[in-house]
Amino acid sequence: MTSPNAVPDRMLTRIGGLLRQAESTDNEHEAEAFLAAAQRLATRSSIDLAVARAHVAGRQRRATPIQRVIPIGEPGRKGLRTYVQLFVAIAAANDVRCDVARTSTQVYAYGFAGDIDVCEALYTSLLVQMVRASDQYIKSGGYRSATVEKVVVQKRLGRTVRRRVAAPVAPVTARLNFQAAFAARVGKRLAEVKAEVVRDAAPAEAGAPGTALALREKELELTDFYRRTSEARGTWRGAAASLTPSADARRAGDRAGRVARLGTAPELGAPRGELPAP
């Protein structure tokens, strides 16, 4: 009997093929279909693994959750919070819990190894696209006609007066708003795919634990592992919490997130290279 620990390798190979197909097309609808298919396989892999774990005999090695540190960027780089937001959004759709370093330079991922592998592969590809799309938006100059509301503090006759004024959008503000909206939209898309797959999952064979039960057992096992392992204090508030809002940049980022494709994704399992600072 094949060990359930071997399942992720086969699934990762199949998902890698879908990523390469996404790279080779310039048709955004085809790319969208390949992204959805990749996420469906990732979700189905998780379901299959959960069912397989329920069947593991006492002598067989049982797959257990792990913690893995995901590097995000070098200390001092601006915009790492939007990178973190993207990874956390992908993780939420793949049964992976996350803690975020205070500096946003790394994420502590908790989950089963196959699920974390899928998250890293999707993150690598989507991050490259997010950075590229935001670069194109900034170079287009589309943000220059927009304004943001700022509070100006002035001293008048010994009194402090605060008033709101319209100010031009700085390039860094536009970029971060674009990336935050991109990550949020990608997260929604992946979550929708996951919900669809879970809803349509076929029941297990007669006499075997049902898929819903196996998934619940997996969730409880991961929750217990996270509680025992995590040393996090507080809850990460997300990238948008610290941003000066720019509606135009957010709309542009949301549009890019809707048609995001996995262009330039390396094969699954390949190391992630350094990316330029935002």
pLDDT attached to residue 7: 46
pLDDT attached to residue 148: 63
Q: Is 157 helix (H, G, I), strand (E, B) or coil?
A: coil
pTM: 0.72
Q: Can you read off the two tokens belonging to residue 165? A: 């004024």
Are 197 and 37 in contact by the 8 Å Cβ rule? The answer is: no
Q: Provide the angle, in degrees to the nearest 10, between the axes of the packed helices 113-140 and 171-200.
A: 140
Cα(132)–Cα(214) distance, integer angstroms: 40
pLDDT attached to residue 21: 73
Residue 203: phi and psi, rounded to 5, are: -65, 155
Condensed to tens digits (0 to 9), the pLDDT of residues 93-113 reads: 889 999 999 889 999 999 998
Paired with 108 in beta bridges are 69, 99
| Among 184, 35, 56, 33, residue whose Cα is nearest residue 112 | 56
pLDDT attached to residue 143: 78
Q: Can you read off the two tokens belonging to residue 77? A: 């780089």
pLDDT attached to residue 269: 35
| Among 236, 254, 200, residue whose Cα is nearest residue 92 | 236
Q: Can you read off the two tokens belonging to residue 23? A: 């790279």
Q: Can you read off the two tokens belonging to residue 131? A: 């950075």
Q: Can you read off the two tokens belonging to residue 182? A: 């991109």
Condensed to tens digits (0 to 9), the pLDDT of residues 26-57 reads: 677 777 787 778 777 777 777 666 666 665 54
pLDDT attached to residue 35: 77
pLDDT attached to residue 47: 64
pLDDT attached to residue 68: 95
Instruction: For the beta carbon of residue 210, count every other beta carbon within 10 angstroms.
Output: 14
- Report which secondary-structure segment, H or E, holds 111: strand 106-111
pLDDT attached to residue 64: 85
Rama region for 264: left / alpha / beta (φ>0; ψ in -120 to 50; rest): left
Rg (CA), the chain: 21
What does the domain layout of the chain look like in residue ranges? Answer: 4-139+172-258
Are 46 and 87 in contact by the 8 Å Cβ rule? The answer is: no
Residue with token string 């997996």: 218
Which spans in 55-112 are helix H? 80-92
Burial (CB count within 10 angstroms: exposed 0-12, middle 13-18, buried 19+), residue 155: exposed
What are the residue ranges in the chain where pLDDT is below 50? 1-7, 57-60, 204-208, 262-278
